[in-house]
Chains A and B, each alone.
Chain A
Amino acid sequence: DTGVSQDPRHKITKRGQNVTFRCDPISEHNRLYWYRQTLGQGPEFLTYFQNEAQLEKSRLLSDRFSAERPKGSFSTLEIQRTEQGDSAMYLCASSSLGTYGYTFGSGTRLTVV
C-alpha cells in the first residue's frame, strides 16, 4: 500500500499530557499537510511542509502544537499539555509540487479525557 499512513489510529489521553502523532506520506510527495477535523465539520488547515521546511502555519496552531518533518520524509505533530478542546481527528495529507490533488491518510482520532 503506497498511501499516506498515520499512527496511531486512536489515542486517548488525560488532560495535561503530551501526545505525538506520526505521518508517513507517499514517498515521492514533497508537500505534507496537517489538518484537524472536529465532529460534523470539514477539515481545517493546520500547517504545511515543503520537503523539511515548515512554510505555513494556521492561527489554529497554538504554541502548544509543534510539527516537524526532519528529513523531508515522515512528519510528527506534537500537542503539549493537551486540553479537552484538542479532541479531534488529526489528518495528514501529501502531494507533489506542481500538482493540485492531495492524498489524505486515515487520521489519528484524539480523545482528551
Chain B
Amino acid sequence: GENVGLHLPTLSVQEGDNSIINCAYSNSASDYFIWYKQESGKGPQFIIDIRSNMDKRQGQRVTVLLNKTVKHLSLQIAATQPGDSAVYFCAETGEGSARQLTFGSGTQLTVLP
C-alpha cells in the first residue's frame, strides 16, 4: 500500500562490527549507482558510487558490490561507528540528458554502543 514506505527496514549493529546494507534496483538499463547517507534533518550525503562495468569498488571503510544479474547492490561498512547511524539510500541512474536519480527505499542503520 501507499504507507509501506513509512516503515523503513532497520539494521542494528554493535559498534565495531561490520554492516551490510542491501538494495534491489529496478532498471536493467541503469549504468551508475550511488549510495547516500542521510542524517535526520539533512540532505543526502554521497558515500560511494559504482559504474555498471564494475562489480566492486572500495572506499575508506566502505565497499559497494554490484550484481547486475540479479539487480542487487550492497554497501558494506567496516568497523561501524556511532557516527554511521543514519538512513542509507541506494540510487540509480541511466541514459538520458537529465540523469536524474531514482532512489530505493532506505535502510535505517543504528549502531549500538
Nearest-neighbour CB distance to chain A for B87, whole angstroms, equals 9
When distances are taken between beta carbons in the complex, the residues of chain B under 8 Å from A102 are: 34, 46, 101
Nearest-neighbour CB distance to chain A for B108, whole angstroms, equals 9
Contact B103 A42 (CB under 8 A): yes
Q: Report the separation of the CA atoms of residues A33 and B49 in the bound assembly, to the nearest whole angstrom.
A: 19
Contact B100 A41 (CB under 8 A): no
Asked whether A43 is an interface residue with its Cβ less than 8 Å from the other chain, the reply is yes
When distances are taken between beta carbons in the complex, the residues of chain B under 8 Å from A25 are: none
Chain B: which residue is nearest A42 at the CB level?
B103
Count residues on chain B whose CB falls below 8 Å from chain A CBs: 28
When distances are taken between beta carbons in the complex, the residues of chain A under 8 Å from B45 are: 104
Known: A104-B44, A107-B42. A43 touches B101 (CB 8 A): yes
When distances are taken between beta carbons in the complex, the residues of chain A under 8 Å from B41 are: 106, 109
Chain B: which residue is nearest A50 at the CB level?
B97
Contact partner, B43, options A48, A55, A91, Cβ 8 Å: A91
Segment at the A interface, from B4-12, B55-63, B71-79: B4-12
When distances are taken between beta carbons in the complex, the residues of chain B under 8 Å from A45 are: 98, 100-102
Q: Report the separation of the CA atoms of residues A43 and B36 in the bound assembly, to the nearest whole angstrom.
A: 11
Q: Report the separation of the CA atoms of residues A55 and B51 in the bound assembly, to the nearest whole angstrom.
A: 25
When distances are taken between beta carbons in the complex, the residues of chain A under 8 Å from B51 are: 100
Contact A44 B103 (CB under 8 A): yes
Known: A91-B43, A104-B43, A106-B42. A40 touches B97 (CB 8 A): no
Known: A42-B89, A43-B44, A106-B41. A100 touches B32 (CB 8 A): yes
Known: A100-B49, A101-B34. A48 touches B98 (CB 8 A): yes
Q: Report the separation of the CA atoms of residues A39 and B42 in the bound assembly, to the nearest whole angstrom.
A: 13
Contact B43 A42 (CB under 8 A): no
**10 smallest A-B Cβ distances: which pairs?**
A42-B103, A104-B43, A45-B100, A40-B6, A48-B98, A56-B98, A41-B5, A106-B43, A40-B5, A104-B44
User: Which B positions have Cβ atoms within 8 angstroms of A?
Assistant: 5-8, 32, 34, 36, 41-46, 49, 51, 89, 91, 93, 97-106
